[in-house]
Amino acid sequence: MGKIIVITILLFLAWKLYSNANQKWMGFYYPEGDLVSNTTYSPEFDTKEQCISWAENIRVSRPADANVDPQDLYECGKSCKLRNSKLGLYECGQSFDGGDWRRGDYGN
């Protein structure tokens, strides 16, 4: 009975470690709030804070975006997978936008 418990715990820990290793963050920046064209895609990040920093750095470097609501400028997503390569559409397990971040509602 003790061996089964130890094996179960080890399998759980291995699964948890593996699933956390595959949860990278990715950013999507929409210049001037244009969701259809000219989207800028970030590299993968280990943390959501790195994604936020990437997006905010772009935002402050673009005067044309100064009057655009941050929720229309960028998103950060976790565990994103490319669903349509022609359109560059991604599906993410969790995501938030610049407005969510400013309200403090940007998940785990």
- Provide the whole-model pTM: 0.74
* Residue 17 domain-assigned (yes or no): no
* Closest by CA position to 101, among listed 68, 80, 63, 74: 74
Question: Per-10-residue mean pLDDT for the chain, 108 residues long?
Answer: 59 50 88 87 96 95 93 95 85 92 74
* Residue 16 domain-assigned (yes or no): no
Looking at the 3D structure of the chain, how many domains does it have?
1
Which pLDDT score, from 0 to 100, does residue 105 have? 76
Q: What are the helix (H) ranges across the chain? A: 2-21, 48-61, 98-103
* Residue 60 domain-assigned (yes or no): yes
Q: Which domain holds residue 78?
A: 24-103
* Residue 3 domain-assigned (yes or no): no
